[in-house]
Amino acid sequence: MKNKQAKNKSLSSTEKNLFISTIRDDTVVLKNGGLRAILLTSSINFSLKNEDEQEGIVQAYVSLLNSIDFPLQICIQSRQLNIDAYIAKLDKRLREVENELIRVQLEEYRKYILELLSLGEIMSKRFYVVIPYQPGSDGKKKFFEQLTDVLSPTKIISLSKEKFNEYKLELERRVAMVEAGLEGMGLKSVRLDTQSLIESLYNTYNPIVSQFEKINDLNDLNLEK
C-alpha cells in the first residue's frame, strides 16, 4: 500500500513539473498557453554531397533562418533498434518455406543479422523540428525569470476554443514556412498528428517502459463521459 502511494505521489510530482497541458488537433498545448507543432524530417549525408550541392544546402538553410522571425528547436532522438519482431517474422518464414535453397539462404541471413547485433548496439535516429507559438510574449525573458520557470511547477493557463483556433492559425503559418524551407534543402518532412505526438512523448518520457507497454490507439479509447 505504501509503495503504491509513493508511486502515485511521484507521478503527481512529475505531472506538476511537466510543461505539457494537453495534445489536440495535431498540436501540443503547454501549460503557459504556448503551442508547439513537431515535424519529423528526413536526413542528408552532407559529406557525400559534392561541393556545389553542399553550397546549395547551406544557402537554403541560411534562407530558411532569414525567412523566420521565431525560434526553432532541432531535436535528434537516438534509440536502440529493436528487431525482435523482424526476427520473429524470419522464424515464421523459415517454418513455412518448402524450398530447401530458400531455407538455407534465410538461415544464413538470420545468422548474419544476429552476428551483426552481437558486435554492438544498432541505433536508429529520428530528426524533429519543433515549431513554437507563444502568444503575448516576445520571448525575451531575463535569465533568472527563465530559471524560475524551469524550477517552479508550471502554472496552467486555460485556452478557450476561440483563442486556441486563433493561435493555431499563426502556428499553421509558421509550419508552412518551415516545411517550405526544409523542402528547399532537399529534406522531406511530415507533421506529427495527435496520435503520433502522444506516442513520441510517451516513448521519450518512458524509454524503457515503452519497449514493453504500448499505449492504445486514440480510436480505441472511449473519450465520452
**12 lies in some domain:** no
**10 lies in some domain:** no
Which domain, by its residues, includes 48? 19-78+125-217
For the stretch 169-185, what's the b/e string if a residue is b when 16 or more beta carbons lie within 10 angstroms of its beta carbon?
Answer: eebbebbebbbebbebb
35-57 average pLDDT score: 93
Give the other-Cβ count within 10 Å of 62's Cβ.
10
Q: Is the domain of 168 the same as that of 207?
A: yes
Number of domains in the chain: 2
Q: Is the domain of 130 the same as that of 200?
A: yes
Position 193, amino acid: D
DSSP letter assigned to residue 153 = P
Alpha carbons 184 and 149: distance in angstroms, whole number: 36
Q: Among 12-21, 106-115, 180-189, 211-220, which stretch is predicted with the lowest mean pLDDT? A: 211-220
Quick check: pTM over 0.85? no
**178 lies in some domain:** yes
Of 120, 142, 172, the residue at which a domain comes to its end is: 120
Q: Is the domain of 31 the same as that of 113?
A: no
Q: Is the domain of 92 the same as that of 188?
A: no
**pLDDT(184) > 60:** yes
What Å distances lie between residue 39 and 27, 35, 64, 93, 224, CA to CA?
A: 11, 14, 15, 36, 30
